[in-house]
Each structure stands twice: as C-alpha cells, then as structure tokens.
C-alpha cells in the first residue's frame, strides 16, 4: 500500500473505480494511480457534458434557473456561468481549447473593471470572494498569462487588509449585504480590521492556481493566517460558525477544510506544520467504510458528489504524504 493510503482508514481506490462515472474513473486513474489515460477530450463528449453545453447562451453565459435576467442588482447569470464553468473545468477538464470555454471566459471578463475586480455578483460592490474564485477557474482553463488575470492579481494585492489577509470591504465597515446593495457608493475597506478566513481562503485559491503568484510572499503570509484559523469561527457574519469548515462541495465554492488544504499545498505548506497534519487527521477520522467521508455536502444534485469529495481528499493525501 502506498504511504499516503496508510493515513486513511480505508483504501478508497476500489470504490472510486467501481463507479459507473467515467469522469471519476478517469481522474482516479490519472491523479491517484498515475496511469496513462486518454486525452482529456474524451470527457468533453460525455452525454452529461453535452447536456450542459446545449444550455449555453449565444453570449457565452448560462441562465440562472430562476430567471434569465438580473434579479434586483445582482447579475445572477454571471453567478450561474461561474458555477457551470466550475463544473466543466473541475469535473471534465475543460480548457480554452474548447469554444464553449472561450465564450464563457469572454462573457465573464466583460464584468471585470479597470481596477481588476469582477463586479456584479455583489451588485456594484467589490467582491473579494467571487472575483478570485472566477480568476481561479479561468487560470485553470488556460488564461493564467492573460493580462486581465494579471490585473486581477494587482487588484487583490491592493485591497488586502493591513494584517495581510482579505475581507469583504463592506463587512469591514459594519454593513450587511442588503445595505451594501442599497449604497450608491463603492464601499472601500477599513483595512485596519481583521481578515476573514472565509474570504482569504477563496482569494488564495486564485494564487494557488497560478504558477507565479503561488510563490509570492503575500500568498505565503496569507496562508499562515488561514492556518491559524482552522476550525474556528470567522471574524465576520458570513458563514461564521466553525461548523462551516466541515461543509463541503465540489467543485469548491465556499471555504472548507478540503478547499483550504488544497490551496495550502500549492503555496508550499506541508505536514511539518502541526495544524496541517491535524486537519488531515481530522479528515481521516471522518472516513466511512465505503471510502467516502462523513462531511456535510452543502450544494449540488450530482448523485456521486460524495465520491467527488472522496477524490478531492485522496488528492490531498497523495500530495501531502507522497
């Protein structure tokens, strides 16, 4: 048995390979077993993928299920396109070699301001959560050297809190989401206030995805801050309770212990760090007999979500205990 498997209760490979899910089988063979696999494009032709692609609009977007228009001041089509981009990139390995990704990318880039942030999901306010989340997926899709992505990093570095982490600017001045939407002004952050680990971890996903920025001192410092908040309440109201560390999703959306550990590995952290090691032991303790993990899945209708989460955890253990 490989050394990383000894850190788990159950070898998850047989369970992952027994599924009638070609995408999970593909990534298990490629990422866990290190086997030679077909071109990633074989996944682009799956029936479930074709169903997704048929719903893409001519402008590159996907309609939010509740409406094809903006609801209030929030651009829900931008949000839905971000979610679908995550499905295509993370579950089926899509990249800018596919026309649908090019169209989706250009749709999303139209929401980028001159400052570098992506605006619209939080109405006309800054979003230090969704902006880097969108950047992460675009980087993984092959836009890492696009000047627009680099401008996004410049903005992220400019809007950090004084302690080196990130927070939602409107939260740092005591406003809730509704008040922020109603404000006619672009709310600037009070940088003297503490960082939010929920937001900082989402920002670090963009840094971790980029070969250059993952090596930056700013990312390393923010990673240390994130580790210091493992399994603790956030400083701000959004997803504040420490139980959110155990609430997971795939593709990653909000911050949880799996998404945090995933980013931290690429930022250069390892099991020499006691908190990292403790978080991995926490996940091991949560493993079920069928190889999956007893964690609360917070969104998604995919019947195999528990196994996508299992695959994500396997990647963590293989990287950290190689």
pLDDT for the residue numbered 222? 98
> What pLDDT sits at residue 67?
56
- pLDDT tens-digit series, residues 43-72: 999 999 999 999 999 999 999 987 545 555
Give the structural domain span for 301.
Answer: 1-38+244-322
Rounded CA-CA distance 217/227 in Å is 15
pLDDT of residue 1: 52
Within a domain: residue 93? no
Q: How many domains, the chain? A: 1
First to last CA, the chain: 12
Residue 229 maps to a domain: no
Determine contact, residues 15/291, Cβ cutoff 8 Å.
yes
- Is residue 319 in some structural domain? yes
Task: Assess if residue 301 is contained within a domain.
Answer: yes
Q: By C-alpha distance, which of 128, 223, 206 is closest to 167?
A: 128
Asked if 96 and 103 count as a contact pair (C-beta separation under 8 A), the reply is: no
Within a domain: 143: no
Residue 295, domain member (yes or no): yes
Beta bridge partners of 296: 247
- Its pTM stands at 0.95
User: What is the tens place of the pLDDT at every residue in 83-132?
Assistant: 999 999 999 999 999 999 999 999 999 999 999 999 999 999 999 999 99
Q: In this structure, is residue 51 part of a structural domain? A: no
Residues in the chain: 322
Q: Which of 262, 254, 274 is nearest to 311 (CA)?
A: 262
Contacts of 6 (CB under 8 A, 6+ apart): none
What average pLDDT does this structure show over 226-245?
95
Q: How confident is the model at residue 178 (pLDDT cuts 50, 70, 90)?
A: confident
Question: Of the candidates 270, 261, 309, which has an alpha carbon nearest to the alpha carbon of residue 286?
Answer: 309
The answer to whether 62 and 81 have CB atoms below 8 angstroms apart is: yes
Residues 82, 133: Cα–Cα separation, whole Å: 8
Q: Each residue of 260-272: pLDDT tens digit?
A: 999 999 999 999 9
User: How far apart (Å, rounded) are the C-alpha atoms in residues 294 and 34?
Assistant: 26
Between 2 and 93, residue with greater pLDDT? 93
**Chain CA centroid to CA 294, Å:** 20
Is residue 106 included in any domain, yes or no? no
């Amino acid at each position: 048995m490989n050394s990383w498997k000894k850190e788990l209760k159950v070898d998850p490979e047989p369970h992952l390979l027994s599924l009638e899910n070609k995408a999970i089988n593909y990534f298990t063979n490629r990422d866990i077993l290190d086997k030679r696999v077909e071109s990633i494009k074989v996944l682009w032709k799956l029936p479930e993928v074709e169903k997704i692609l048929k719903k893409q609009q001519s402008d590159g977007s996907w309609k939010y299920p509740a409406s094809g228009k903006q609801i209030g001041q929030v651009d829900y089509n931008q949000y839905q396109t971000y979610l679908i981009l995550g499905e295509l990139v993370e579950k089926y390995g899509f990249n800018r070699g596919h026309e649908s990704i090019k169209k989706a990318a250009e749709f999303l880039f139209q929401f980028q301001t001159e400052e570098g942030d992506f605006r619209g999901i939080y109405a006309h306010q800054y979003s230090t959560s969704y902006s880097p989340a969108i950047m992460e997926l675009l980087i993984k899709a092959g836009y890492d050297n696009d000047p627009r992505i680099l401008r996004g990093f410049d903005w992220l570095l400019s809007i950090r809190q004084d302690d080196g982490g990130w927070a939602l600017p409107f939260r740092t001045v005591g406003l809730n989401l509704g008040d922020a939407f109603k404000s006619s002004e672009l709310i600037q952050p009070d940088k003297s206030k503490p960082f939010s680990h929920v937001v900082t971890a989402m920002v670090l996903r963009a840094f971790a995805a980029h070969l250059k920025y993952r090596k930056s001192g700013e990312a390393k410092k923010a990673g240390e801050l994130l580790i210091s908040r493992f399994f603790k309440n956030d400083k701000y109201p959004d997803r504040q309770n420490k139980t959110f560390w155990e609430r997971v999703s795939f593709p990653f959306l909000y911050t949880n212990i799996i998404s945090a550990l995933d980013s931290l590995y690429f930022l250069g952290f390892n099991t020499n760090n006691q908190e990292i090691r403790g978080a991995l032991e926490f996940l091991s303790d949560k493993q079920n007999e069928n190889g999956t993990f007893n964690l609360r899945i917070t969104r998604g209708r995919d019947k195999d979500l528990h196994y996508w989460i299992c695959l994500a955890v396997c990647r963590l253990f293989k990287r950290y205990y190689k």
